[in-house]
Amino acid sequence: MPITLCPCFGDRDTSAVDQADRDPVLLVSGMGGSILNSKPKGFGFTTRVWVRFFLADLEFRKKIWSVYNPDTGYTESLDKKSEIVVPEDDHGLYAIDILDPSLFTKCIHLTEVYHFHDMIDMLVGCGYKKGTTLFGYGYDFRQSNRIAKLMEGLKAKLETAYKASGGRKVNLISHSMGGIMILCFLSLHRDDFLKYVNKWICLACPFQGAPGCINDSLLTGLEFVDGFESYFFVSRWTMHQLLVECPSIYEMLPNADYKWKKQPEVLVWRKQTKEDGESNISLETYGPVQCASLFDEALKNNELSYDGKTISLPFNHDIFEWATGTRKVINNAKLPDGFSFYNIYGTALDTPFDCCYGSQESPIEDLTDICHTMPEYTYVDGDGTVPSESAKADGLEAIARVGVTAAHRELLRNERVFELIKKWLGVEPTGTKKYKTSKVADVDPIKPMVL
């Protein structure tokens, strides 16, 4: 009988599960879905900077705040004494399993940081073996989805899985922004895709963007946790300063060329005072094309202090131009004839679509004040983060598109999703041993985010 160090952790021994004859599976995470470590360039200890709950905001500011380098196309950390790395332990699965694998998080079994955890358990229970037929790909999600380092990393992981399984093609399962990366790989490395990939099961991908969440992320940031727990996590403002310099975020802005049922908008109740002292209050509307001018004005004074220096972080036109190029790359992605592609999207949840700042009673005079204003949303159907309209609009020949009633991250542990995955992979559980977990703690839920 296996020994468990603490009843908080349950029993994850898989030795009793029969290892079946399986094609390899590679799990690909999305935005915020990988552990990020800060590794000193000289001597010192490697520390986890994403995700963590204790000293989270302090470590985040010190180690992961970044600026975009237009000469290289990479977002580079302000801390020049360390580098951001993704752990490769457990054949890439560790980085996307439990995003905060601390004793505290495991003891309370905080559901939202148990990322691919349940899916990994399900696949192991169906006969997949880590390092032979089951692998994970976590990556530096600050970067562009088409940047060379991420593309090369995905190719290397596919090649590893292909060789480890005896030359079998790989089945991809992606979550959220991971689907955007796979489209970039398909477009830019088509020969490698044809060589290594067998099937692709896509979950909750913002194919045409995530209008409400991404527009507001660029203007005011993101906050993952409400209530008391928020004091232990990265603040909304701290996250905002990173996202303004992240190509991956710009690449998920709403697609201006897509024919939406209704164009997503950012609305601003604006008060403007004339020279004669008279004021006028009006509702200004910005569509996907016009939003760049709004971002320009709202973020023109945005700055942070780092190591005694003030660093300006306005709306980044270099990144915006790069992201426009990424959209062209995505549009050029075409699946091979006869390829098996499946799309699962979340439905039945209110999902932010339009953002409105200010009100008729309390209008905004200076657009820079938007960055300190919480929006009111109008909602559409989706998973709470990605509208179902965007997630369904893959532009690909799909064998099946299935809507599942679940939130963005919940799709990674949803039983209906698991049944669909097992059906499409053609597998069933091979043993009777089940993974025992502790009861989920009653805490404030982590907010949905594009991951």
DSSP letter assigned to residue 448: P
Structure tokens at 104: 């505290």
383 annotated active-site: yes
DSSP output for 94-128:
GGGSBSS--HHHHHHT-GGGB-SHHHHHHHHHTT-
Structure tokens at 357: 């700042």
The burial class, CB within 10 Å (0-12 / 13-18 / 19+), for 435 is middle
**Active-site option among 91, 115, 117, 408:** 408
Task: Kindly give, in sequence order, each residue whose CB lies less than 8 Å from that of residue 130, ignoring residues fewer than 6 positions away.
Answer: 90, 91, 93, 124
> Residue 382's Cα: distance from chain center in Å?
16
DSSP output for 282-326:
EEEEE-TTTHHHHHHHHTTT-EEEETTEEEE----HHHHHHHHHH
d(CA 61, CA 57): 6
- Torsion angle of C-alpha atoms 220, 315, 66, 87, degrees rounded to 10: 70
Task: Kindly give, in sequence order, each residue whose CB lies less than 8 Å from that of residue 242, ignoring residues fewer than 6 positions away.
Answer: 60, 64, 65, 66, 142
What angle separates helix 211-220 from helix 236-243, to the nearest 10 degrees?
100
Quick check: 296 and 384 in contact, CB under 8 A?
Answer: no
**Active-site option among 34, 38, 66, 176:** 176
d(CA 265, CA 274): 27
Q: Is 127 left (phi over 0), alpha (psi -120 to 50) or beta?
A: left
Place of tokens 């000293």: 55
Place of tokens 């201006």: 256
CB atoms closer than 10 angstroms to residue 220: 22
408 annotated active-site: yes
**Active-site option among 121, 383, 388, 390:** 383
Q: Which residues are catalytic?
A: 176, 383, 408
